[in-house]
Structure 1
């Protein structure tokens, strides 16, 4: 697939690494061209300015903080015919809480800013887990997926599985409210409780 990753921080860089390793045609973009170029060169991807980076993309990974999402989407221009993957969480300044959650979510708010279907995914995983790849010693790392668009969700599930990750369908985009809370708990466990960043939430089903 042709994938544009917006953002080159820890999460964005990890996404570029894994998508490129899976054989996808990846373009990196962001506010600072030099930052995007460095990550692109490191992982064998392309880089482009914000206003043209998504022109030929099928999927756009929005790997920027929630507070920067509106600005990033505006800079990308029209995303008609594309799919947006939202990996963000609406975190407080100390990363130990969420700024919204009971009546909306980052995923739902981002969906209001674009005509493209939005799929919530990857937000429950630390960047270090993404960077390390899809497999823990006991099982494939699960990615929770939520969207109101079945076709978009199916495309994203295919993308995720191509990267080696497992997927768990969590229903409509409204359920991003729960996924973002799970991410908040995972952040607490990793940092607040001192368990480190090589942890990830999973869903078990008895056979």
Structure 2
């Protein structure tokens, strides 16, 4: 796939490395273009672009920014009509221990309202950056899960295909409204990682018996 990644932080960098390893063509952009350039120079399938040029002919956009930065970052790319936007954000408080919105909306739904011509999918938000960077295999050869929610079946299947190309199991989490469940799930994972001291190599999975 041809993919644009917005963000050069821990999550954006982890995505760039994993997507590169899977053979995808990646355009990366962010506020820190020096970091974007350095990352691109180290990865064969990754190129760095200023925001205005970063969309190109990408089929998918991964928004790997803080929630409050997501909409301006997406809008800086230009026309997103028909693009699949994978929202990995969580609307976290300053101390990361609570969500700033929920119950009647979600980060994904608010982003979708702001870029209505795009097809927004919620996915990857339940993973720590270190887990994403290390890949989908855990102890005892367990494989991690990526939950995928969206209103467009095509967009969901695109996100599923992308996640599976990186080795993850995927769980169809229904319509985008169910991001209201996935974002609190990420909040629980963050609490377990930091508040309960389990560290950043934990992630929720869904098991079939």
Is contact 2:193-2:200 (8 Å) kept?
yes
Q: Deviations over 1:113-139 (max 9, x none)?
A: 111100100000000000001111332
Displacement of 1:32 in angstroms is 2.4
Distance in 2 between residues matched to 1:132 and 1:43, nearest whole Å? 16
- Stretch moving more, 124-133 or 30-39: 30-39
Displacement of 1:149 in angstroms is 0.4
Describe the SS at the equivalent of 1:112.
Answer: helix
Q: Deviations over 1:34-83 (max 9, x none)?
A: 12111222333101110110121000000000000121012111111211
Q: Normalising by structure 1, what TM-score?
A: 0.97
Describe the SS at the equivalent of 1:3.
Answer: strand
Q: Normalising by structure 2, what TM-score?
A: 0.96
Please show how residues 75-154 of structure 1 align to structure 2 within 5 Å.
Answer: 75-114=76-115, 115-137=117-139, 138-154=141-157
Distance in 2 between residues matched to 1:126 and 1:174, nearest whole Å? 22
Which consecutive unaligned segments of at least 5 residues does structure 2 have? none
Q: Deviations over 1:131-177 (max 9, x none)?
A: 00111133211000000000110111011101111100000000001
Q: How many residues align?
A: 206
Distance in 2 between residues matched to 1:20 and 1:134, nearest whole Å? 15
Distance in 1 between residues matched to 2:133 and 2:73, nearest whole Å? 23
Describe the SS at the equivalent of 2:114.
Answer: coil
Displacement of 1:12 in angstroms is 0.5
Q: 1:168 aligns with which of 168, 171, 174?
A: 171
Q: 2:205 aligns with which of 198, 202, 205?
A: 202
Distance in 2 between residues matched to 1:103 and 1:64, nearest whole Å? 23
RMSD of Structure 2 on Structure 1 (CA): 0.8
Describe the SS at the equivalent of 2:143.
Answer: coil
